[in-house]
């Protein structure tokens, strides 16, 4: 197979089929007809001498060949896209780019209010789409262009040689309770903390969080009365209950609840801004990164 004999548009179809696992949905994403997508897949199969995707009740299942090449195909497509964008003269006031950014609800609360004011003044036509992507899926999503940026803890799940990163927020944790809590004054002892019922926020349906892991090292266990996927509803629950919530201090300052220093040491929370290395030279991506980093200081 020689590259000059291959239609590069077929690789765009290949990438979307891999993402959607369905030819009809892939056709919708690409604004093509399903027969056109099927024809493109047929041509790809001949090119690679492999089925690439096999029909099943769960959708189009990628073959081992597809799994082996998808990351390189996505990186190549991203590099081509970035090369085209780098040829443009970027003017933030005229740019109508839409940036897809992965954030959880805490990052949204900390960043988006100020960012949207900043964009309104300096890039009034630029658009942001924010949604949360699982940490383990970030490298693939950034590589494929499904995301341009992400804000997450830079750990084992998000760390990848293909990703660039810059630190944003570094914060200690505090404990939130309502101001008229009957059992808690202006300080909090470990005994009091352990006697409280707690709200635990996690994107996972089960498993221990950072607080529980640190307490277990000390031989203690807290009482989790409520497990939530998002933080934003928690303050409403705290105002009408005797529960407690352990949160990053920056987010706590945006509530009207009593914030107390924890009676034990927790590692600081450090969030990073992540992007794929192929987007490092994209002028618009770089401009938005710089704005986000400046606003996080």
Distance CA(203)–CA(135), nearest Å, equals: 10
Q: Which residue has tokens 């027969």?
A: 35
Q: How far is CA 268 from CA 69, 153, 217, in A?
A: 38, 11, 17
Distance CA(22)–CA(62), nearest Å, equals: 11
pTM of this prediction? 0.65
- The pLDDT value given to residue 139: 86
Q: Between these two residues, 269 and 198, which has the higher pLDDT value? A: 198
Dump pLDDT digits (tens) for 154-176.
664 556 778 899 998 888 899 99
Distance CA(287)–CA(294), nearest Å, equals: 11
pLDDT-derived band at 84 (thresholds 50, 70, 90) equals: low
Task: For residues 14-20, give the mean pLDDT.
Answer: 91
Domains of the chain: 3-86 (1.10.10.10), 98-170+271-295 (3.40.190.10), 173-267 (3.40.190.10)
CA angle 103, 105, 111 (to 5 degrees): 65
Q: Of all residues in the chain, what percent carry a pLDDT higher than 90?
A: 54
Task: For residues 91-111, give the mean pLDDT.
Answer: 90
Total number of residues shown for the chain: 297
Q: Between these two residues, 101 and 138, which has the higher pLDDT value? A: 101
Do residues 250 and 110 touch, judged by C-beta distance below 8 A? yes
- The pLDDT value given to residue 74: 85
Residue 185 has pLDDT above 90, yes or no: yes
Nearest partner of 97 among 285, 292, 295, judged by Cα: 285
- Find all residues with CB under 8 Å of 291, minimum gap 6, and list them: 115, 118, 119, 122
Dump pLDDT digits (tens) for 258-274.
999 999 999 888 889 99
Residue 87 has pLDDT above 80, yes or no: no
User: In three state form, how does the secondary structure of the chain look?
Assistant: CCHHHCCCHHHHHHHHHHHHCCHHHHHHHHCCCHHHHHHHHHHHHHHHCCCCEEEECCEEEECHHHHHHHHHHHHHHHHHHHHHHHCCCCCCCCCCCEEEEECCHHHHHHHHHHHHHHHHHHCCCCEEEEECCCHHHHHHHHHHCCCCEEEEECCCCCCCCCEEEEEEEEECEEEEECCCCCCCCCCCCHHHHHHCEEEEECCCCCCCCHHHHHHHHCCCCCEEEEEECCCCCHHHHHHCCCCEEEEEHHHHCCCCCEEEECCCCCCCEEEEEEEEHHHCCCHHHHHHHHHHHHHCC
């Amino acid at each position: 197979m020689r590259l000059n004999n291959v239609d590069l548009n077929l690789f765009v179809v290949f990438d979307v089929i891999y993402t959607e696992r369905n030819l009809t949905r892939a056709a919708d994403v690409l604004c093509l007809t399903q027969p056109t997508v099927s024809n493109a897949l047929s041509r790809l199969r001949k090119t690679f001498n492999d089925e690439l995707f096999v029909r099943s009740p769960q959708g189009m299942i990628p073959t081992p060949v597809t799994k082996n090449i998808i990351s390189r195909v996505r990186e190549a497509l991203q590099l081509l896209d970035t090369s085209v964008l780098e040829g443009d003269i970027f003017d933030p006031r005229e740019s109508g780019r839409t940036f897809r950014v992965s954030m959880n609800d805490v990052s949204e609360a900390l960043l988006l209010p100020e960012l949207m004011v900043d964009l309104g003044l300096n890039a009034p036509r630029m658009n942001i789409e924010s949604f949360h992507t699982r940490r383990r899926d970030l490298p693939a999503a950034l590589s494929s262009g499904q995301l341009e940026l992400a804000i997450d803890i830079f750990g084992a799940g998000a760390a990848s040689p293909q990703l660039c990163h810059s630190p944003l927020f570094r914060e200690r944790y505090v404990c939130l309770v309502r101001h008229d809590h009957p059992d808690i004054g202006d300080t909090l002892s470990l005994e009091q903390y352990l006697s409280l019922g707690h709200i635990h926020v996690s994107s996972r349906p089960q498993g221990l969080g950072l607080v529980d892991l640190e307490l277990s090292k000390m031989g203690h266990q807290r009482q989790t009365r409520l497990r939530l996927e998002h933080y934003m509803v928690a303050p409403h629950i705290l105002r009408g209950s005797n529960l407690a919530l352990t949160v990053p201090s920056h987010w706590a300052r945006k509530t009207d609840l009593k914030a107390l220093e924890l009676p034990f040491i927790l590692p600081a929370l450090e969030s990073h801004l992540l992007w794929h290395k192929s987007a490092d030279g994209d002028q618009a991506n770089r401009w938005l990164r710089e704005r986000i980093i400046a606003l996080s200081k």
